[in-house]
Amino acid sequence: MIKSAYLHIPFCEHICHYCDFNKVFLKNQPVDEYLDLMDMEMKNTLEKNKANELETIFVGGGTPTALNEKQLEKLLDSVQRHFPISHEMEYTFEANPGDLSKEKLLLLKEGGVNRLSFGVQSFNDDLLKKIGRSHRKADVFRSIEHAREAGFHNISIDLIYSLPDQSINDFRETLKTSLSLDMEHYSAYSLIIEPKTVFYNLMNKGLLPLPTQEEEAEMYEVLLDVMAANGYKQYEISNFAKEGYESRHNITYWDNDEYFGIGAGAHGYVNGNRITNHGPLKKYMDAIKETGFPYKETHHVTKVESMEEEMFLGLRKSKGVSEAIFKEKFSVELISVFREPIESNFAKGLLERHEGHIRLTKKGKFLGNEVFQAFLGVI
């Protein structure tokens, strides 16, 4: 049963130096036509794949809140027409602290959105400028205040650490400032240098002064300790929440469940198929006009691939992979399929068995990618 949908808005007013997501500058783009074709994709997708009422919707980008009020209202109306909104649903919008006006906040609230995810990244204004962010520390406080006034009681902040020239003390200060806002949810990711980004080009020229691996690991340890000390439960490698405020949408991914992907460059998982939409705006739009669907690639996931995904996605969760659910899904014991990587990582102290789950140890969280790799290509 498909219970989630991801919608992609690829427009940005500024392009951050680290970002490799599918995005374009907003100026002079055919935004309204894009929204019309997204509406058509939603309609055609649901006609092709009957779905029950969704439990989560996540609108990401790009910068969804870069849309003007009329465009934002158009998008919200499309979502409501195709995906009935209920009070029980988790309906998230990503937002940039610098462009979320009171009027847009009220539109989102009236449209059924009940969760906001702010791309804050840092509370150091010099660092924000260095990484290409358009907002500043004061914008975050103002946007959070306005969001609370508009009635939002489920707000998440995204942070990035191991930024160029970032010190461990600077990251401590960012965490301290973040926690002073008393958000329901925090995500914190280590900077990854991706191809085709400003940072990638600077790194290749030797002009990107990054923290050492040891400093990056220390920042992660600081993150774990500070979040725990402030009562936030780590429920995934990079995600922390007050009780009951875990991101249900992201758990869909980590549980290896199916979901719709709508919009340019969006990915979906439907009826056993991983579907990738065309990313370039023109290709996405032309494909919908010609065929009704913007699919660039459809890959049927084999049983072996699905079992591997169950492991490297599920091990991101603090509770790990359920042995009972694995057997229910695949009609085989988890340990019998992955005995060698499990026992090997038990011996290294990177995995442990806890209450019917295989999960990362604290040591394993620092070496997660190494553990995940161990489950690929062994069946």
Domain range list for the chain: 4-254, 320-373
CA 238, 244, 248, 251 dihedral sign is positive
Q: How far apart are CA 352 and CA 321, in angstroms?
A: 11
Determine the CATH number of domain 320-373. Answer: 1.10.10
| pLDDT grade for 15, boundaries at 50, 70 and 90 | low
Cβ 48 vs Cβ 271: under 8 Å: no
- Segment 230-244, tens digit of pLDDT: 999 999 999 999 999
CA angle 305, 301, 264 (to 5 degrees): 120
- Segment 315-363, tens digit of pLDDT: 999 999 999 999 999 999 999 999 999 999 999 999 999 999 999 999 9
Q: Averaged over 45-73, what is the pLDDT?
A: 92
Q: How far apart are CA 254 and CA 272, in angstroms?
A: 16
| pLDDT grade for 375, boundaries at 50, 70 and 90 | very high
Q: Among 123-132, 177-186, 364-373, name the one with the lowest average pLDDT.
A: 123-132
Q: Among 7-16, 73-82, 261-270, name the one with the lowest average pLDDT.
A: 7-16
Question: Residue 234 forms beta bridges with which residues?
Answer: 240
Residue 90: pLDDT above 90? Answer: yes
Report whether CATH 3.30.43.10 matches the domain 4-254: no
Cβ 217 vs Cβ 366: under 8 Å: yes
What pLDDT does 51 receive? 77
Query: Across the chain, what does the average pLDDT equal?
Result: 94
